[in-house]
Amino acid sequence: MRNIVLFVLLIIWVPSVYAGVLEDSDAARYAFAIKDYSKAFNLYKKLAEDGHAPEQFLFAEMLRKGQGTEKNTTEAAKWYAKAKRKGVTRRSEAYRIRNEEKRAIVAAEEAEKEDRFKGTPKYYQQKAITRITDAKFRIVAAKKTITHEKRIGALTGYVNKSRIYEAGSYQIAYEDELKRAYKDYKLAGGKLPLSKIK
């Protein structure tokens, strides 16, 4: 019975502790990315003291470079050694984490920008322009395929009619898509003529 109670308490306690570590780690990474080094330093220090190897390495980096604190290479060496004992070296975990944090922050900023932009006429214009340029590209590709097949037919005496028919069908479909996309662009307040949209 006592083991069951301990097991249940462990199940409840471990995820909450791990979630707290992830939140602190994310907060530290974000603070570092926006160059709030003093906040990042304090968060990394707390996580490093709690024994988290990637944060120990990143904390050592901040100590060595003097980010958020004064440079302290002897203290940095101590933290590098602790991280290294847990398998985190310069070329492994810490740099991978740094790259992931940069991508995550850029993605979050892009998503936030998209949310602010969504619903505005400019948003719908941009979406329509993307559709227009895609349709134009596909129409040109279909025309090139038709021309290519006709040339091969003239040289060999065999015309691949199914390939020409398929490319012609795509051309017609994308010409219709081009008309719809341009109509949506105009409805969103777009002013450029179709020929100027690239």
From first to last of the 198 residues of the chain, give the pLDDT tens digit.
555 544 444 344 433 333 344 467 777 877 877 888 888 889 889 888 988 777 888 888 888 889 888 998 889 888 888 888 877 776 456 656 656 666 777 777 777 666 665 667 787 888 888 889 999 998 999 899 899 888 988 888 888 888 888 888 888 988 999 998 898 888 888 888 988 888
State both tokens at 16: 């909450």
CA atoms within 13 A on the CB side of 68: 22
| pLDDT for the residue 62 | 87
State both tokens at 37: 């080094």
Q: Using CA atoms, how far apart are residues 156 and 69, in angstroms rounded to an integer?
A: 76
What residue spans of the chain are helical by DSSP H? 2-33, 37-49, 53-65, 73-85, 93-117, 121-156, 161-187
| pLDDT for the residue 19 | 36
What residue spans of 34-72 are helical by DSSP H? 37-49, 53-65
| pLDDT for the residue 147 | 92
Task: Tell me the Ramachandran region of residue 36: left when phi exceeds 0, alpha when psi lies from -120 to 50, beta otherwise.
Answer: beta
